[in-house]
Amino acid sequence: MHLENKNLLNVRNFFRNICIGLVDGLTIPLALAAGLSGLANKNSPVIIACFAAAVAGAFTMTIGGYFESKKYSSGVKPSVAGLTIGTGYLVGGIITTVPYYFVASPLIALQYSVIATLTVLFVAGYWESKLNGGTGWANAARVCVTGAAAAGVAFYIAKLFV
């Protein structure tokens, strides 16, 4: 393979792996934040739980990305693929949590978190699809609907127990 094509493929795989990590790293912490926001009257439990979930998720995504890359030899070193996916997951968890640092009410922070998370989720879903050969728009809409639905379900389940 020509060096220029190989470098382009590596850049493409890097961004694809970031998007893969981001999609999961945004969706799961958002659902957790939504459920906890329905229960908590202050932000610290939401921040702590979401950070713990982001770190744990990043760890598992790193390991999963490593073995997946090794199994399918995508042209990227397995360690790089794993770390890139895991980093994407961690960044997604941080994006979801940021509003809780600046807004005192968990319910209001959740509103900002949903807006920020769904915006980044749409972009990451679009590019994940484009970098995998898809059209982008359908996947962007799908991951946004999935993220919003997961957050809504978690929030209302938590409210059932309050």
Residue 10 has a pLDDT of 82
Q: For residue 128, what are its two tokens?
A: 């994940």
Lookup result for tokens 């978690």: 154
Residue 39 has a pLDDT of 93
Nearest to 82 by CA among 13, 11, 1: 13
pTM value? 0.90
Rounded to whole angstroms, the Cα distance separating 110 from 126 reads 23
For 90-112, the pLDDT digits (tens) are: 999 999 999 999 999 999 999 99
Rounded to whole angstroms, the Cα distance separating 16 from 130 reads 9
Q: What is the mean pLDDT of residues 26-35?
A: 97
Task: Name the average pLDDT for the chain.
Answer: 93
pLDDT of 64 higher than 90: yes
Distance separating the N- and C-terminal Cα atoms of the chain: 60
